[in-house]
Amino acid sequence: MGGKSNGYREREIPMPAAKWLSRRVFEFVHSHNLVYNTCWEDPRLDRQAMQLGPEDRVLVITSAGCNALDYVLAGAGRVYAVDMNPRQNALLELKIAGIRQLAWDDFFQMFGQGHLPHVRQVYRQRLRGQLSVWSQRYWDRWISFFSRPSRPFYFRGTSGSFARALNFYIDRVVKVRPIVDQLLASKSLVDQRKLYYEELRGRFWTRALRFALRRDATLSMVGVPEAQRLQVERHYPGGIVQFIEESLDAVFAQLPLHDNYFWRVYMTGSYSPECCPEYLKPQNFERLKSGLVDRTSCHTNTIQGFLDQETVSISRFVLLDHMDWLSTHNFSLLEAEWSAILQRATPGARLLWRSGGLRTDFVDQVVVRQNGRLTRLPELLRYDRELASRLHSLDRVHTYGSFYIADVAA
Cβ neighbours of residue 112 under 8 Å, at least 6 residues apart?
270, 271, 272, 273, 276, 280
pLDDT at residue 25 tops 70: no
Domain membership flag for residue 70: no
Domain region containing 234: 157-260
Domain membership flag for residue 270: no
pLDDT of 332 reads 94
Give the DSSP letter string of 68-109.
HHHHHHTT-SEEEEEES-HHHHHHHHHHHHHHHHS-HHHHHH
pLDDT at residue 287 tops 80: yes
pLDDT at residue 192 tops 70: yes
Residue whose C-alpha is closest to residue 400's, from 200, 244, 188, 245:
244
pLDDT at residue 226 tops 80: no
From its phi and psi, is residue 330 left (phi > 0), alpha (psi between -120 and 50) or beta?
Answer: beta
Domain membership flag for residue 340: no
Confidence of residue 10 (pLDDT cuts 50, 70, 90): very low
Other Cβ atoms less than 10 A from the Cβ of 409: the count is 11
- Structural domain total, the chain: 1
Edge-first strand listing for the sheet containing 314-318: 296-300, 78-83, 57-61, 314-318, 345-355, 402-408, 381-383
Quote the pTM value. Answer: 0.91
In angstroms, rounded to a whole number, what is the distance separating the alpha carbons of residues 286 and 365? 46
Domain membership flag for residue 50: no
Cβ neighbours of residue 115 under 8 Å, at least 6 residues apart?
109, 146, 147, 148, 149, 152, 153
Question: Distance of CA 213 to CAs 140, 188, 220, 292, Å?
Answer: 34, 30, 10, 40
Mean pLDDT of the 184-209 span: 95
Confidence of residue 157 (pLDDT cuts 50, 70, 90): very high
Confidence of residue 27 (pLDDT cuts 50, 70, 90): low
In angstroms, rounded to a whole number, what is the distance separating the alpha carbons of residues 410 and 406? 12
- Across the chain, mean pLDDT equals 91
Domain membership flag for residue 221: yes
Domain membership flag for residue 111: no
Residues 63-87 pLDDT 10s: 999 999 999 999 999 999 999 999 9
pLDDT of 357 reads 85
pLDDT of 6 reads 44
Domain membership flag for residue 97: no
Residues 239-267 pLDDT 10s: 888 999 999 999 999 999 999 999 999 99
Which amino acid type is present at position 24? R
pLDDT of 328 reads 82
Domain membership flag for residue 377: no
